[in-house]
A and B are shown apart, each in its own frame.
Chain A
């Protein structure tokens, strides 16, 4: 059977190729994988995991981190106090059906369902923890206008902290759709391994699902053209390309044989 029996243009990418692409993105765009407050980002001793980047990232002075504002200490408002934190995506692996790259946890009902993908990623992070000495700098009775260690009222003070790092192993399952010429990933299920109580786990899972969904929609929606390495049919004015319909293509995009496949029809 030919690749193009039911379409004019076919493209597929194997999970091993996608995993290499993920690794290239991680090394060339580290700020999509590492998030921290400025105090922690600027001190590599405080990072939870070493960051591997290409020489061009350094040469062109790209940030290793997306810098985020400090996390407020609840109840502190005179002055407001914040602490640093860090979150790093230290591993990301994709597996297209049939699942064979890693084992899914029971909560995601293995084996991986047909036409689905699975993600295995590790998130390491930590909240900054201040020393007793640092905590003693918080003014008794609130802010004094002449307090030496604070800049002034209403300006958030960031405590010097050291994150207590931990890592979470996260699994997700999902599927792809083609929408408006973009390949879009959708998260169907997510599971954090070995975390209790259940309520905390559910909260974190929901948060991570929202994170992954936002990234997939905002940053990783891939144009069909890119998937075909800019195949030159896309720039012929007299040719219009669109996803092949069902029938004759039952799944488009298809996730099968460890590959993601798209089928494109051509109208001249």
Chain B
């Protein structure tokens, strides 16, 4: 029989999980060129909620863990090919050409579409993990240093129990279809800015000549289907944000933030004047879960 047994109910385990969940933050930015366009993104996120279940197969499962995108900014830049529109004569001059006409205007050049999707919420659909005890030897510890020396120097060894994910399934961000209107407006504004100052009706005539803006953009970027789906694919697959997030979450739980941690040897009596602290070695740490609780066992060395 183990010398020490500690058990935390599923309710208590949820509190432990919430504590480490709330400390998770992630941010990243990247950019790339993809043929007809270039893109960049900047993201920052944290986790909220989640339904936690302890299983009899020694696993912990977390479902519907919300990913709150505190920052989700994307910029897509492309080159509007140069072309000329206008140059039409509205009222011809029978003697000398044209009395009233639309001037010939040539446009083209780079257009960037900055999109701010901050505040969107997606989710870790399913995270399944085992409890994994790990013995941590502080790399700052020097050879020949006793446990007490290491404690006084601020780098004692530690027992840590991690949630080691078996898998992490992150759902893609669900970018709303309304993003198409936003893109359309931004591109329209960009094109209008390429025009010289003209009466409104002429601008409208020129834009009408260009045709539907969204179709133009989709044509230039090679988009087949909905632009929101294309944007999701750009972030999640082309930039592999999905994989990056899954890795970040797995790494956070499996190696960075233990669910339970204590010093080894474990201090049972504090130091006093002329007295070193009393520390007991903890051995054979094991951790398991069943549907009702988490159980940690250990021996006194």
Residues on A facing B (Cβ under 8 Å): 2-5, 7-14, 16-17, 20-21, 24-25, 28-29, 31, 55-57, 59-63, 219, 222, 226, 228-233, 236, 238-239, 258-259, 266, 268
Contact = CB atoms under 8 A, between A and B. Distances in A.
B300 A57 contact: no
Interface of B: 1-9, 11-12, 15-16, 19, 146-148, 259-262, 266, 268-269, 274-276, 278-282, 290, 292-293, 295-296, 298-301
* Chain B interface mostly: strand
Given A29-B269, A233-B8, 15 more contacts: A2-B293, A3-B7, A3-B293, A5-B292, A7-B9, A8-B11, A11-B4, A11-B6, A21-B268, A21-B280, A24-B278, A24-B279, A232-B19, A233-B15, A259-B5
A20 B300 contact: yes
Given A17-B300, A24-B278, A230 B262 contact: yes
A61 B273 CA distance: 11
Given A60-B148, A62-B275, A236-B19, A10 B6 contact: yes
Given A25-B278, A55-B146, A17 B290 contact: no
Contacts of B275: 29, 31, 62
A112 B52 CA distance: 44
A57 B146 contact: no
A20 B4 CA distance: 12
Contacts of B280: 20-21, 24
Nearest to A231: B6
Contacts of A60: 148, 276
Given A226-B268, A239-B15, A17 B4 contact: yes
B262 A28 contact: no
A229 B266 contact: yes
B3 A268 contact: no
A57 B269 contact: no
A3 B5 contact: yes
B266 A236 contact: no
A229 B292 contact: no
Contacts of A62: 274-276
A236 B21 CA distance: 13
Contacts of B262: 229-230
A3 B1 CA distance: 15
A232 B268 contact: no
B259 A9 contact: no
B148 A56 contact: yes
Contact of A232 (B11, B261, B269, B298): B261
A98 B38 CA distance: 76
Contacts of B266: 229-230
A9 B260 CA distance: 14
Contacts of B16: 232-233
A28 B6 contact: no
B5 to A, nearest CB: 5
B8 A12 contact: no
Nearest to B277: A28
A13 B3 contact: yes
30 contacts: A2-B292, A4-B8, A4-B12, A4-B292, A8-B8, A9-B7, A9-B8, A9-B9, A10-B6, A10-B8, A11-B6, A12-B4, A13-B3, A20-B280, A21-B300, A24-B279, A24-B280, A25-B269, A28-B278, A55-B146, A56-B147, A56-B276, A63-B274, A222-B268, A229-B298, A230-B266, A232-B19, A233-B12, A236-B19, A238-B15
A239 B6 CA distance: 18
Contacts of B15: 233, 236, 238-239, 266, 268
B12 A9 contact: yes
Contacts of A28: 276, 278-279
B220 to A, nearest CB: 53
Contacts of A230: 262, 266
Nearest to A219: B269
Nearest to B11: A8
Contacts of A231: 6, 8, 260
Contact of B290 (A2, A8, A21, A258): A2
A8 B4 contact: no
Nearest to B8: A9
B1 A14 contact: yes
Nearest to B146: A56
Across the A-B interface, give the 6 residue pairs with the lowest CB-CB distance, nearest first.
A17-B3, A3-B7, A4-B9, A2-B292, A20-B300, A10-B7
B269 A16 contact: no
Given A2-B293, A13-B3, A236-B19, A229 B276 contact: no
Contacts of B7: 2-4, 9-11
A229 B298 CA distance: 10
Contacts of A59: 146, 148
A127 to B, nearest CB: 27
The winner among B15, B16, B261 for most chain A CB atoms within 10 A is B15
Contacts of A63: 274
B54 to A, nearest CB: 11
